[in-house]
Homo-oligomer: A and B are copies of this chain.
Amino acid sequence: MGYGMREGLSERNKKILEAIIEDYIVTAEPVGSRAVTRRHGLTLSPATVRNVMADLEEMGFLTSPHTSAGRVPTDKAYRFYVDSLLAVGTIDKAERERIRKRYSLAGRDIGAVLHETSKLLSSVSHYMGIVLAPRFSSTIFRHFEFVKLSGRRILAILVAQNGTVQNKLIESAEELSADDLVRMSNYLNELLEGLPVSEVRAKILAEMQNEKVLYDALLTRALKLSEQTIEEGGAQIFIEGQTNIFEQPEFTDVRRMKEVFRAFEEKSQLIHLLDRSLSAEGVQIFIGAETRLNQMEGLSVITSPYLSGKNTLGVLGVIGPTRMGYGKVIPIVDYTAKLVSRLLEEE
């Protein structure tokens, strides 16, 4: 028996485990010893396979839902599969073309691109597509503008280098003329030119201490207003293709379905998860419990950050059942991330 080797399995055991996982991925049914020999061209008898399966169960790679059902891979099995067994395919040309085409339509607007991306990820993978939009603070300051709407109501608009816009309605303490507003904008634009947005707030606070400014009421006001504007908005996230999850047989049960949906309605946890892979490099995979979200039981997340030049902007990916076609999805996510990065590069 494979007990000699603490770590790692014998070649044969790997083959069998792989066969089981791949069978399960396509059938979604517990796979029995017979099925393994039949469908995967192994020259072993079911009895032998059964012995191996018992071992694999012992080691935590398989479980059986009940005595007379076949075995089902555990999270641990998928992890092993992804790490050691899976030959990540390359995305085929037709598919690649299909993805590329989708982008020619969407304008160059970053929001549109990201939204389209999540739809695309969903439709190409047949699972759910997710895109975490860049944090505003991760961009470079470009332009400040105050627009007077009426009386003391002012709309402050903050534009970042990458074309993202953040705006906020503020009520100023007293009425300001259009001229004042222009001067305020000019002043701020000069002051903040080229600064990372994350540092803008600090700069403003520092400037407030500046003596010269203290004597100029208008500038002080400008700083105050701008400070109100800069405010970390909650990260934006695009989720598309939720209904695809319904097609998965393991979520046919109403209770499970509810759970999953509840999880996605409360987006903050999901955002937190994506945040974790923001700093990673390349494709990351979270299998079932690895997401550390318990409503995500039975679901895996495949993500990749996308960047512009050297700056990581956000994360995109696919959420599907743990029983997912990793071999196909991984290259899709990878390719899409690179494509998006390329699209946003020039900015």
CB within 8 Å of B: which residues of A? Answer: 107-110, 142-143, 145, 147, 149-150, 153, 155, 157, 159, 161-163, 165, 167-169, 171, 241-243, 246, 252-254, 257-258, 261-262, 265, 346-347
Contact = CB atoms under 8 A, between A and B. Distances in A.
A78 to B, nearest CB: 26
A167 B241 CA distance: 26
A252 B161 CA distance: 48
A169 B254 contact: no
Nearest to A159: B147
Contact of A261 (B155, B157, B242): B242
A143 to B, nearest CB: 4
A250 to B, nearest CB: 12
Contacts of A257: 246, 254, 257
A265 B246 contact: no
Contacts of A265: 241-243
Contact of A347 (B107, B108, B150, B261): B150
Contact of A145 (B145, B243, B262, B347): B145
Given A147-B142, A149-B163, A246 B254 contact: yes
Tell me the dominant secondary structure on chain A's binding face.
mixed
Contact of A157 (B165, B252, B262, B347): B165
Contacts of A262: 243
Contact of A143 (B143, B147, B168): B147
B243 A169 contact: no
Nearest to A253: B254
A190 to B, nearest CB: 12
Contacts of A159: 147, 155, 157
Most buried by B among A149, A159, A168: A149
7 contacts: A109-B169, A149-B163, A153-B346, A155-B159, A163-B169, A241-B265, A243-B258
A87 B171 CA distance: 42
A143 B59 CA distance: 67
A290 to B, nearest CB: 25
Contacts of A253: 254
